[in-house]
Structure 1
Amino acid sequence: MFSGTPIDFQDEPLENNGFWPDLNLKDFQSQRTIPADIDADTIAQALIVAVAEVNAELESVEYQQRAKGYESAAAVPGVKMSGLNALCAQYTKAVFARAKADLLGEFATIGQRETHPGQESTETRAGLLAEASVVIRRMKGLKRATVKMV
């Protein structure tokens, strides 16, 4: 229930690898409605791990863009809104979805079932991981799904 009290999110920057955009814990908490009562260090660890995993999956994308002369994802041309380009928006979406999927177990441990019903469910976690996977596939220039013969 909305209490009228502003939520105190952790304004903590995450320094990325120089190509992918830096992120902020506060943005993650507010955009993905992460409960403020989950320990900030736990949230930070989930975000760091998600960044490392997504960066590893996108090594080929980074390599291709650097080969084209773009030193950062923000420099890659494309659709923009409020200074954010499509590549950085996709990256942020993938990281935030994966990090939230990792945190879902925390929702249940702090008694959030009443205020966030279903947030800790297996289906919710699978949906978030699928969201991240689809975005990463699109960033790699792949379709949502492919069929391979074995």
Structure 2
Amino acid sequence: MSSFISAGTANSDTSDQAIENNGFWPAIQPSDFRERHRLDGTITSARIEGALLTAVAMVNRLLRHWQAEQVEAGYPTVDDIPVPVWQTPGAYLGLYQRAVFSTAHASLMERYADYDATNSGRERGEQLADPADAYRRDAAWAISEIEGRPHSTVELI
């Protein structure tokens, strides 16, 4: 006779500290990232923090020209930017968070793929490549939306 005993999932670490930002964009809350992307405590706070710090740096670099234009136009923070009439309030902040969270999640997926060096680990890594790419696409689209660009760029080869 066999039985299944669920071990459950680890609880998320509540000691996550906010990731400070550059003043134009608000601080990033790791607990928001954990909740929105359904990440439990099996991913340590240190890994979450590292992924979010890297994602913030990357997204801020990609948006540096757009941010400079907004500051020059007299909007010192993202909350000060008037929202176009066709857009919902808080759209820029939501898109920014999506870009940061998606970038961080893609990074975590790629790092956890190498956790198991066995053949099954390699196969799992290959299966995780597509979802990681989808998160990176989500981040790129969010950045394009902030900048008012189309989602795709086509070049002739």
Q: Give me the TM-score of the superposition, normalised by structure 2.
A: 0.78
Please say if 1:72 is aligned against 2:77: yes
Give the share of equivalent positions with the same residue, in percent. Answer: 29
Task: Say yes or no: does 1:126 pair with 2:142.
Answer: no
Q: Distance in 2 between matches of 1:51 and 1:5?
A: 26
- 1:107/1:32 CA distance change after superposition, 3 Å: same
Q: Which residue does 2:3 correspond to in 1?
A: none
Q: CA RMSD in A?
A: 2.7
| 1:13 aligned to which of 14, 18, 25 | 18
Indicate whether 1:105 and 2:113 are aligned. no
Counterpart for residue 120 of structure 2 = none
Which AA in structure 2 matches 1:123?
D
Which runs of structure 1 show a deviation greater than 2 angstroms over 4 or more consecutive aligned residues? Answer: 1-11, 105-110, 146-150
Change (3 A) 1:67 1:42: same
Aligned-residue offset at 1:5: 8.7
Instruction: Determine if contact 2:106/2:135 at 8 Å carries over to the other structure.
Output: yes
CA distance, structure 2, for counterparts of residue 42 and residue 5 of structure 1 = 15
Structure 1: 5+ residue stretches without partners: 111-116
Q: After superposition, what is the alpha-carbon deviation per residue over 1:46-66, rounded to whole angstroms, capped at 9, x for unaligned?
A: 000000000000011101111
**1:113 equivalent in structure 2:** none
Q: Does 1:139 align with 2:146?
A: yes
1:49-60 to 2 correspondences below 5 Å: 49-60=54-65
| Whole-angstrom CA distance in 2 between matches of 1:50 and 1:149 | 30
Question: CA separation of 1:4/1:147 partners in 2, compared to 1, >3 Å: closer, same or farther?
Answer: closer
The structure whose Rg is larger is 2
Does the CA contact (< 8 Å) of 1:98 and 1:128 recur in 2? yes
1:7 positional shift: 4.1
Change (3 A) 1:142 1:2: farther
> CA distance change for structure 1 residues 10 and 127 in 2, over 3 Å: closer, same or farther?
farther
Which has the larger helix fraction? 2
Q: Distance in 2 between matches of 1:130 and 1:9?
A: 29
Q: Tell me, which stretches of 5 or more residues in structure 2 are unaligned?
A: 1-5, 117-123
Conserved? CA contact 1:10–1:25, under 8 Å: no
Q: TM-score if structure 1 supplies the norm length?
A: 0.81
Paired residue secondary structure (1:16): coil
